[in-house]
Amino acid sequence: MYDVVIIGCGVSGASCAYMLSKFDLKVAVLERSSDVASGTTKANSAIIHAGFDPKPGTQMAQLNVRGVELAKEICEKLDVPISNCGSMVLAFDEADMEHVQKLYEQGVANEVPGIEVVDAAKAKEMEPELADEVVGALWAPSACIINPWEYCLAMAETAVRNGVDLFLGTEVSGITKTEGGHFVVDCGSRSFESQYVLSACGVDCDKTRSLLEEPDYEIVPTRGQYFLLDKEEGRRVTRTIFQCPNEKGKGVLVSPTVDGNLIVGPDAIIGDREDKSTDKEGLDAIKEAAMKSVPKVNFRKNIRNFAGIRANSKSGDFIIEESKAFPGFIDMAGIKSPGLTAAPAIAEYVISMLADDGLPLIIKEEYVDERTRPRLPVAGHIGGGGKIYTKEEADRIRNEKIAADSSYGRIICRCETVTEGEIKEALHGPIPPVSINAVKRRVGAGLGRCQGGFCMPKVQELIVRELGIDWLDICLEEPGSETLSYRTKTEAGKED
Ligand X SMILES: Cc1cc2nc3c(=O)[nH]c(=O)nc-3n(C[C@H](O)[C@H](O)[C@H](O)COP(=O)(O)OP(=O)(O)OC[C@H]3O[C@@H](n4cnc5c(N)ncnc54)[C@H](O)[C@@H]3O)c2cc1C
Q: Is 49 among the residues known to form the active site?
A: yes
In the list 86, 339, 374, 384, the residue contacting ligand X (rule: CB under 6 A) is 339
Residues within window 218-257 making contact with ligand X, judged by CB under 6 A? 224
What burial class does residue 409 get, using C-beta atoms within 10 Å of its C-beta: 0-12 exposed, 13-18 middle, 19+ buried? Answer: middle
Would you count residue 308 as binding ligand X (CB under 6 A)?
A: yes
Q: Does 441 bind ligand X (CB under 6 A)?
A: no
435 near ligand X, rule: CB under 6 A: no
Site string for ligand X, 389-428 (x = CB under 6 A): ----------------------------------------
Does 87 bind ligand X (CB under 6 A)? Our answer is no
> Does residue 443 bind ligand X (CB under 6 A)?
no
CB nearer to ligand X: pick between 150 and 420: 150
Q: Quick one: which of 81, 86, 251, 266 contacts ligand X (CB under 6 A)? A: 266
- Give the one residue of 336, 371, 375, 440 binding ligand X; rule: CB under 6 A: 336
How big is the chain by its Cα radius of gyration, in Å? 23
Closer Cβ to ligand X, 10 or 421, answer by number: 10
Residues 200-219 that bind ligand X (CB under 6 A): 200-204, 208
The whole-angstrom separation of Cα 282 and Cα 37 is: 25
Nearer CB in complex with ligand X: 338/444? 338
- Residues 6+ away with beta carbon under 8 Å from 224: 44, 249, 265, 266, 267, 268, 269, 307, 308, 309, 310
Least Cβ distance, residue 169 to ligand X (angstroms): 9
Q: Which is nearer to ligand X, 308 or 446 (CB)?
A: 308
- Is 217 within 8 Å of 314 (Cβ atoms)? yes
For the packed helices 339-356 and 11-20, what is the interaxial angle rounded to 10 degrees?
Answer: 40
- Which burial class, exposed, middle or buried, applies to 25 when counting CB atoms under 10 A from its CB (0-12, 13-18, 19+)? buried
Interface with ligand X: number of residues (CB under 6 A): 40
The number of helix segments (H) and strand segments (E) in the chain equals 12, 22
Cα-based distances in Å from 117 to 94, 125, 135, 294, 375: 13, 14, 11, 19, 38
Least Å distance, CB 99 to ligand X, is 19
Q: At closest approach, how far in Å is the CB of 379 from ligand X?
A: 28
Query: By CB under 6 A, is residue 45 in contact with ligand X?
Result: yes
Contact between 444 and ligand X per CB under 6 A? no
Q: Which residues sit opposite 309 in a β-bridge? A: 223
Q: What angle do CA 75, 443, 144 make, to 5 degrees?
A: 30
- Please check whether residue 64 is in contact with residue 51, taking contact to mean a CB–CB distance below 8 angstroms: yes
- Please report, for residues 6, 72, 344, 454, the alpha-carbon distance to residue 65 in angstroms, rounded to integers and kept in the order given: 24, 11, 11, 42
Q: Which residues bind to ligand X, rule: CB under 6 A?
A: 7-13, 30-33, 38-41, 44-47, 49, 171-172, 200-204, 208, 224, 266, 308-310, 335-341
- The residues carrying an active-site annotation are 49
